[in-house]
Structure 1
């Protein structure tokens, strides 16, 4: 038996990066998968990869109308929803606050928080009734940036901290019929999070950071010698989304490759590659 046999799973922002990796893993675990994606180009690629196996819906997570249309599409196809996984998000460019033009702060805040925070809140409200009926689950994406500085700029860090708090509050509000948990990844290979339009960085992605320099720095801080792919985070999301999770709600799993358990005295001089 697979972990997600007879589960209907909706993934918000499943068109690339982490969301796509999670979608692939959920399919492999036997789930019926629906993906809501804002990019029409990404939907074309998804169609080429999955055909009719996955329900694809074009929509914006900040639009109540689009979320309700997605709900209708999922219920029309399967008649229920067992798990909602939130994987959408944008980055803030990792720009220090003092370097953000004063007249751009409000628009940058609105853009990051609408997508990274409000989108989760709206989706939870739209789908909570269906998830109560199925005794289902919500799994949201936070970040290690919610726990320690320098995982992004101020706006991304604050947004991911808000997601962590949303998990806690909704787990309390939706108990006992809906389990609400989160996953806080650290580095993700080939991350597709785009930058903010408010700073003219909408054409940039996290993966545009020079790979070798980022990888060297990342591995010097972590205890595990690899940069995880999106698919490698899939098992965490799948377990929290599944009925097999009967013990956890209101928790955010910190998947940090030992980042927060790193040595500070050795200054990263220990060679861990190949261990």
Structure 2
């Protein structure tokens, strides 16, 4: 028996990066999957990879109509839903406030919060009754940026702080029948989070940062000295989504390879080993 046998799971933002890694791991763990993805090309890629056994829905988490259509397709195919995993996100390019034109701050916040926060709240509302019927689980994606500065700019870090608070509130409101938790990753190899149109970064991705330099810097900083792949986060999401989790709700699990457990007294010695680009 595998961890997600007899589980039906919806994963949003599943077309690349973290969401795709989670989907692959969940399938290996025996889950029946529904995958919601916004990008046309990624939808086609998902259908090619997963085939007819998986429900792939083209839709936007910001659209109530799209989410309700996704719900209808899940009910038509499976008749139930055990868990929802939210993996969609948009990154703001780590642009500092002083470098953002004042007339773009409003549109930037609206765009990032719509995907990173409103998308989760809408998803929770649309699938609430299905999760309640199964005494299921909602697992969202937070970030190390909710715990420490410099994981993004003001829009991204504020949105991830909001996700952390959303988990607290939803877990309180939906207990005892629905467990609500989040995973807060830090470095993800080949992250595909795109940038915001409000900053003309819609064609850029987080992975555009030179991979070798990013990996060197991250692995130097993190005590575990390892940059995880998207699939490596899968087991943590799988446990939180599974019926085996009978003990956790309202938690945001910081999965940071120990990077916030940083050197203080020994920083001078550590700096001598810092890789140079």
Name 2:115's counterpart in structure 1.
115
Aligned to 1:44: 44
Classify the secondary structure of the residue corresponding to 1:172. helix
Deviations 1:193-213 (A, max 9, x none): 000001110000000001122
Q: Distance in 2 between matches of 1:245 and 1:272?
A: 40
Scaled by the length of structure 2, the TM-score of the pair is 0.96
Q: 1:225·1:272 contact (CA, 8 Å) conserved in 2?
A: no
Please give the root-mean-square deviation of Cα atoms over the aligned residues, in Å.
1.3
Secondary structure of the residue that 2:53 maps to in structure 1? Answer: coil
Q: Contact conserved, 1:88 with 1:116, CA < 8 A, in 2? A: yes
Give every structure 1 segment of 4 or more consecutive aligned residues whose post-TM-superposition deviation is greater than 4 Å: 269-273
SS of residue matched to 1:259: coil
Instruction: Answer yes or no: is the 8 Å Cα contact 1:138–1:179 preserved in 2.
Output: yes
Q: What are the ranges of 5 or more consecutive residues in structure 1 without an aligned counterpart?
A: none
Give the gaps of 5 or more residues in structure 2.
none
The number of residue pairs the alignment matches comes to 273
Secondary structure of the structure 1 residue equivalent to 2:104: helix
1:43-89 per-residue CA deviation (whole Å, 9 max, x = no partner) reads 11111111112110000000000000000000100000000000001
Q: Quote the Cα distance in structure 2 between the aligned partners of 1:41 and 1:141.
A: 23
Contact 1:224/1:272 (<8 A) preserved:
no
Residues 207-218 of structure 1 correspond to what in structure 2 (within 5 A)?
207-218=207-218
Which residue in the other structure is 2:83 paired with? 83
1:146-178 deviation line (CA, Å, top 9, x unaligned): 000000101000000000000000000000000
1:271 deviation in Å?
A: 6.6
Are 1:167 and 2:203 counterparts?
no
Match of 1:28 in 2: 28
| TM-score, length of structure 1 as denominator length | 0.97
Q: 1:166 is paired with a residue of what secondary structure?
A: helix
In 1, Cα distance between the equivalents of 2:273 and 2:197? 40
For residues 240-255 of structure 1, the aligned pairs below 5 Å read: 240-255=240-255
CA distance in 2, matches of 1:156, 1:183: 16
- Distance in 1, matches of 2:36 and 2:214, equals 30
Report the equivalent of 1:62.
Answer: 62
Task: Tell whether the 8 Å contact from 1:223 to 1:272 is kept in structure 2 after alignment.
Answer: no
